[in-house]
């Protein structure tokens, strides 16, 4: 394999035209779409239209005339197509952190009624911290114990006592991908409910919530859905649970008739009861442009084709690291079936500085502290090219061979790493 082979793979790639849907800086190799997705070309124009026309000219009328009020459901329906949910089952609202609170609270209410003897919520110690912080606070309020496992193999032994199993489908550090269908089936067989966090899987791997018979799911708008910084998140509830409880953040947008302005809360039918306050119109409009870039892939083989390309990209990356960078360890699963859309590496020392040296060369990945510290490279098959992987590894080899990363300027950490 040489650089020309990578260029040839791009020339033969049926998904290659989709890169044109994005406005990417000329010289950058962007391998951080799992942290902040790239800017779709359509977004700036659409946001300008929402601001100048719908807001500027339409003013308050636009809640009706531009259908602002149904944006959470309309964009939710588009996301449903990406995560194997039905129409009318997904809403866009709030942040992932808040949505974790809402769905976990509902799951605990159901468990308290159906199996009150179950007193634990199970998750992984390596889960994204905000999920664990929210879960631990909720468990404390409701009298549950949050039990964290160090390996997925420890989950099974806990399921007979578990009220809710809360997992992130693709681990943010390693890219480990759970088998959602089999884990959910096992949890159900043993009487536990499931909450799935799709932050690193929605738009990156084919998700089939209905096929897996999952219970609750939430996920992020600004990662693989390309919704932009601070984009609102999404939330799905299985139709079999959705009308059983109203969630605790029972604001007026989740009311059956918000403009009755009645003092008593009456939850809306279906997933709309998971809305709380006024929808973030500008943010959801930007998110819609991001989701449309993924739906555009439907004409090119859809998520299955994206998945195959993503695996080919991370496999190429792993092969090149294996042959050219003996000082690095691959922290992501090498088994395709267990690897999300990223490759994580570790090395003896200087992970943060190495990532900074790469950024100076135009290769944008990121660093995640922990043990070990991780150099993380996300691939987004909508716009990542094979040649980008080749060049990124070439830059990493240069950073190491020239000891570039030892330069002092790479050792100062910013507020966001």
Ligand X SMILES: *Cc1c(COP(=O)(O)O)cnc(C)c1O
**Interacting residue ranges for ligand X, rule: CB under 6 A:** 95-97, 128, 130-131, 168, 172, 197, 199-200, 220, 233
How many Å apart are CA 18 and CA 26, to the nearest integer? 16
Handedness of CA 103, 104, 105, 110 (dihedral sign): positive
DSSP, res 344: E
How many Å apart are CA 119 and CA 125, to the nearest integer? 18
Cβ-based nearer residue to ligand X, 18 or 93: 93
Q: Across-strand partners of 364?
A: 30
The answer to whether 128 is a known ligand-binding residue is yes
Cβ-based nearer residue to ligand X, 90 or 220: 220
CB 99 within 8 A of CB 93: yes
Cβ-based nearer residue to ligand X, 171 or 347: 171
Q: Is 11 helix (H, G, I), strand (E, B) or coil?
A: helix
The answer to whether 216 is a known ligand-binding residue is no
Cβ-based nearer residue to ligand X, 229 or 348: 229
Q: Residue 191 corresponds to which tokens in the numbers above?
A: 């009487």
Q: Of these residues, 376, 383, 385, 410, which one is catalytic?
A: 376
Instruction: Please report how close the Cβ of residue 361 comes to ligand X at its closest, in angstroms.
Output: 26
Per-residue CA distances from 99 to 45, 150, 232 (Å):
29, 24, 10
| 4 catalytic per annotation | no
Q: Of these residues, 197, 215, 366, 373, which one is catalytic?
A: 197
How many Å apart are CA 312 and CA 384, to the nearest integer? 11
The answer to whether 114 is a known ligand-binding residue is no
The answer to whether 129 is a known ligand-binding residue is yes
Instruction: Please report how close the Cβ of residue 101 comes to ligand X at its closest, in angstroms.
Output: 10
How many Å apart are CA 202 and CA 406, to the nearest integer? 37
Cβ-based nearer residue to ligand X, 367 or 405: 367
Q: Of these residues, 22, 128, 172, 367, which one is catalytic?
A: 128
The answer to whether 96 is a known ligand-binding residue is yes
Determine how many CB atoms are found less than 10 A away from the CB of residue 292: 17
| 223 catalytic per annotation | yes
Instruction: Please report how close the Cβ of residue 7 comes to ligand X at its closest, in angstroms.
Output: 33
Instruction: Please report how close the Cβ of residue 233 comes to ligand X at its closest, in angstroms.
Output: 6
Q: Of these residues, 223, 273, 307, 309, which one is catalytic?
A: 223
| 376 catalytic per annotation | yes
Angle at which helices 281-295 and 41-49 cross, to 10°: 150
Instruction: Please report how close the Cβ of residue 286 comes to ligand X at its closest, in angstroms.
Output: 15
How many Å apart are CA 72 and CA 258, to the nearest integer? 15
| 401 catalytic per annotation | no
How many Å apart are CA 24 and CA 27, to the nearest integer? 9
The answer to whether 222 is a known ligand-binding residue is yes
Q: Of these residues, 30, 101, 216, 222, which one is catalytic?
A: 222
Catalytic (active-site) positions = 128, 197, 222-223, 376
Binding residues for pyridoxal 5'-phosphate: 96-97, 128-131, 168, 197, 200, 222, 252, 278
């Amino acid at each position: 394999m040489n650089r020309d082979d990578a260029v040839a793979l791009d020339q033969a790639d049926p998904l290659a035209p989709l890169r044109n849907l994005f406005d990417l800086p000329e010289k950058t190799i962007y391998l951080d779409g799992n942290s902040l997705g790239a800017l779709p070309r359509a977004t700036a124009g659409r946001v300008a239209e929402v601001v100048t026309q719908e807001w500027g000219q339409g003013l308050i009328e636009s809640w009706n005339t531009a259908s602002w009020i149904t944006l959470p459901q309309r964009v939710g329906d588009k996301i449903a197509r990406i995560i194997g949910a039905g129409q009318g089952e997904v809403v866009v609202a709030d942040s992932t952190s808040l949505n974790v609170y809402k769905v976990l609270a509902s799951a605990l209410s159901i468990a308290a009624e159906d199996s009150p003897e179950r007193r634990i919520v199970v998750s992984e110690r390596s889960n994204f911290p905000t999920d664990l912080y929210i879960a631990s606070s909720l468990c404390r309020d409701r009298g549950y114990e949050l039990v964290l496992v160090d390996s997925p193999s420890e989950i099974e032994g806990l399921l007979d006592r578990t009220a809710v199993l809360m997992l992130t489908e693709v681990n943010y550090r390693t890219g480990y991908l759970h088998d959602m269908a089999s884990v959910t089936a096992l949890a159900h067989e043993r009487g536990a409910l499931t909450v799935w966090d799709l932050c690193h899987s929605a738009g990156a791997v084919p998700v089939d919530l209905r096929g897996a018979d999952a219970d609750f799911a939430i996920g992020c708008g600004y990662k693989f859905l390309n919704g932009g910084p601070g984009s609102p998140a999404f939330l799905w509830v299985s139709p079999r649970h959705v009308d059983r409880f109203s969630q605790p953040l029972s604001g007026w947008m989740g009311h059956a008739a918000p403009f009755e302005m009645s003092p008593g809360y009456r939850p809306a039918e279906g997933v709309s009861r998971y809305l709380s306050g006024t929808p973030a119109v500008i943010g959801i409009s930007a998110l819609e442009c991001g989701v449309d870039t993924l739906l555009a892939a439907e004409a090119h083989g859809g998520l299955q084709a994206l998945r195959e390309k993503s695996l080919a990209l991370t496999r190429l990356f792993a092969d090149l690291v294996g042959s050219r960078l003996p000082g690095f360890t691959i922290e992501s699963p090498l088994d395709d079936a267990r690897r999300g859309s990223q490759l994580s590496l570790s090395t003896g020392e200087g992970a943060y500085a190495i990532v900074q040296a790469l950024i100076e060369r135009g290769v944008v990945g990121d660093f995640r502290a922990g043990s070990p510290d991780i150099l993380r490279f996300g691939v987004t098959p909508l716009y990542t090219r094979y040649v980008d992987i080749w060049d990124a590894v070439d830059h990493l080899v240069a950073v190491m061979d020239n000891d570039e990363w030892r330069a002092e300027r790479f050792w100062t950490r910013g507020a966001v790493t």
